[in-house]
Structure 1
Amino acid sequence: MITEHWPLFGLRLFTPRLELRVPSLDDLGQLAGVAATGVHDPDRQPFVVPWTDGSPAERARGTLQWHWGQWSAWSPAKWSIGLVTVLDGRVIGTQEMDARNFGVLREVGTGSWLGREFHGRGYGTEMRAAVLDLAFTGLGAEQATSEAFDDNAASYAVSRKLGYADDGIARHVVRGRAATGRRLRLDRAGWEAARTVEVRIEGLEPCLPMFGV
């Protein structure tokens, strides 16, 4: 079985409503379809790399290529795990977590998106809570970071709910214009104090060497 050689395919995270997992090819096909239908208001661009500005076909293809690229580039010193978010058997979005030199720094970053029809239902909070539990409980992380543009109120609401604190700003060029990103940071004490979402992790132990733990 492929999990003997790539144990990440056996990793599962469960919240009260969602399952997060490393996608199969069928999962990726569903995720590409969600990307094609749109993941945000076209008048706004919440991503530093404006991959959603392409056509539906380009968004779908880019989604596949991004995940395949992360698989091929994986090493314990630099990794990015992209999980599909599954609701009642249906892929509705993706939650990513990445790190460099995790074995020394014990720090992760996160990013995510959902199909537009699934916004505003609290799924973003559960998704982020799931990977934070993977980071802090499963991998022994000490810090987690996030960033969002000034106008991304929904992302800030999730971060505040989960215990993040302000950590400065970053300047970017998006669609040819300057944009200010607000950085946020979560330490273990803040995570423990704000922890409210129940998370269950399965299949982690054989994956630990891949994370540099």
Structure 2
Amino acid sequence: MNHWPFADLVLRTPRLELRPDDDAGLLELADVALRGVHPPDYMPFGVDWTDAPRDRLGINTLQHHWGVRSRLSTANWTLNFLVRMDGRVLGVQTLRAEDFPVLREVDTGSWLGLEHQGKGCGTEMRAAVLLFAFDHLGALAARSSAFDDNLPSHGVSRKLGYRPDGTFRQLRRGEAARQTRLVVTPERVRRPDWDLVVNGVTPCLPLLTGREPID
């Protein structure tokens, strides 16, 4: 019996493969983080984890992902998909939810190493988890947010059909900055011109949706 069904879950797009994090992949992901995620004079994240000292950034990355993985439950789950191209880790695409069996909403977040940005991978990997959430989990809405000056993130959201859903202010490196909330539904999502291939989802459904798969 496989006691961790997410080990066999995989999403495939024309260029990318997304799998929930594994220890070998996390070691590679930590190296990606150390090579740089954003310019040093700009912080795109609500949690400034990349400001950690260089000798702590790698282990912090590992411990964060291990902690998230250990706390997974139907009431509150997070899947950190490692994004690979040609077998090489580029970054991570997160899909998370609270009380999904009742609310049926998900939230996304992501990052790519600097060397992999600007090539369309951000759109492709977020499209993958949106299609997975809508078509395989039965989600009714997907939410995201980004600082107003995070133009690449807002560009991905526009391409995929998100609409603004309010704003909030948050501390960023000690100063107030505005984030815009965004939401997209199955009816409004702009589907890509490729089909998502999903394998290994059936054993994961009870943990993610609270429902047994239908034969």
TM superposition score category, shorter chain reference: over 0.9
C-alpha deviation, 1:25, in angstroms = 1.3
In 1, Cα distance between the equivalents of 2:134 and 2:55? 37
Give the alignment's Cα RMSD to 1 decimal. Answer: 1.0
> Any runs of at least 4 consecutive aligned residues in structure 1 with deviations exceeding 4 A, and if so which?
none
75-84 or 49-58: bigger deviation? 49-58
Name 1:205's counterpart in structure 2: 202
Q: Percent identity?
A: 50
Taking structure 1 as the reference length, what is the TM-score of the superposition? 0.96
In 2, Cα distance between the equivalents of 1:134 and 1:60? 29
In 2, Cα distance between the equivalents of 1:173 and 1:99? 24
In 1, Cα distance between the equivalents of 2:196 and 2:44? 27
Name 2:26's counterpart in structure 1: 28
Say if 2:9 and 2:201, in contact at 8 Å, map to a contact too: yes
Taking structure 2 as the reference length, what is the TM-score of the superposition? 0.95
Three-state SS of the structure 2 residue aligned to 1:188 is coil
The one of 99, 107, 126 equivalent to 2:97 is 99
C-alpha deviation, 1:21, in angstroms = 0.1
The one of 175, 178, 198 equivalent to 1:177 is 175
In 1, Cα distance between the equivalents of 2:56 and 2:157? 30
Q: Which amino acid aligns with 1:10?
A: D
105-114 or 46-55: bigger deviation? 46-55
Matched ranges for 1:1-213 at <5 A: 4-191=2-189, 194-196=190-192, 197-213=194-210
In 2, Cα distance between the equivalents of 1:211 and 1:14? 19
Cα displacement string for residues 91-115 of structure 1 (whole angstroms, at most 9, x for unaligned residues)? 0100001100000100000000000
Three-state SS of the structure 1 residue aligned to 2:169 is strand
Cα displacement string for residues 72-94 of structure 1 (whole angstroms, at most 9, x for unaligned residues)? 11110000110100010100100
In 1, Cα distance between the equivalents of 2:51 and 2:135? 37
C-alpha deviation, 1:53, in angstroms = 0.6
Three-state SS of the structure 2 residue aligned to 1:92 is strand
In 2, Cα distance between the equivalents of 1:145 and 1:34? 26
Q: Which amino acid aligns with 1:87?
A: M
Three-state SS of the structure 1 residue aligned to 2:178 is strand
Aligned residues: 209
C-alpha deviation, 1:127, in angstroms = 0.6
Cα displacement string for residues 44-65 of structure 1 (whole angstroms, at most 9, x for unaligned residues)? 1011110001123322111111
Q: Which amino acid aligns with 1:158?
A: V
Q: Which runs of 5+ in 1 are unaligned?
A: none
In 2, Cα distance between the equivalents of 1:23 and 1:78? 17
Q: Which amino acid aligns with 2:191?
A: R
C-alpha deviation, 1:174, in angstroms = 1.1
